[in-house]
Amino acid sequence: MQDDSSILVQKPAGTGRRLILLFHGVGATPENLLPLAAAIATTEPAAWVVSVRSPDPSDFGMGWQWFPVRAVTEENRIDRIAAAMPGFVQAVRGWQKRSGLDPEATTLIGFSQGAIMALESTQLPDAIAAQVISIAGRFAQPPRICPETITVHFVHGDDDPVIDPRYSIAAADRLASMGARVDLNMIPEVGHMIDQGVVERVCEQVRKG
């Protein structure tokens, strides 16, 4: 475990083949993603698997967050994410340094706010990962550039009342039109949650690399 209370779920012998970082939602903790992390560790026994804690106490009075959601709007969300992004990149780079693995061997998996941060990182000038898996997430604004070296996977319940699944559909379409490597998995009758079907779909994407 790191000083920031992130949870190192699996550390393979030697350097390992991959670095897989999980990012929880707002008001949650790294522990909330441990069932998914455990399934991923079983899927990829040669990977580092880490459930990363967000840096700031949540507006909700429990758990943690990357950016505040109180009074959030479509306009100010963009600036809030931009302010949080250096810390997000620093967290990813820190685990890359510790594991000895580079962006080409790194997968980012985010749920809700964690997915928002992971998706927005694909718009940075320098890629920090080769694969991003968004669970019940969205871009703060439509993608502006094609993440040429990153494969992006969207997994979204079609009954999500918190983040409209149409955001994932629109983003996947836009990225595909830019020539990005992208796919979309809509999970029937699933809300804003990670159920067993979501776990299986994520593990399938992890196996594909």
Domain boundaries, the chain: 7-208
Give the three-class secondary structure for 180: coil
Task: Give the H or E element holding residue 2.
Answer: none
pTM above threshold 0.75: yes
**pLDDT digits 0-9 by tens, 14-66:** 878 999 999 999 999 999 999 999 999 999 999 999 999 999 999 988 999 99
Cβ neighbours of residue 180 closer than 8 Å, sequence gap 6 or more: 143, 146, 147, 148, 150, 152
Closest alpha carbon to 169 in 188, 190, 189, 155: 155
As a whole number, mean pLDDT of residues 129-145 equals 97
> Superfamily for 7-208?
Alpha/Beta hydrolase fold, catalytic domain (3.40.50.1820)
Residue 168 neighbours by CB under 8 Å, 6+ apart: 134, 137, 138, 154, 156, 184, 186
The whole-number pLDDT of residue 4 equals: 67
pLDDT at 2 over 50: no
Indicate the average pLDDT of the chain: 95
Catalytic sites, residue numbers: 112, 160, 192
Does residue 209 carry a pLDDT above 90? no
SS3 12: coil
Half-sphere exposure of 146 (CA within 13 A, CB side): 11
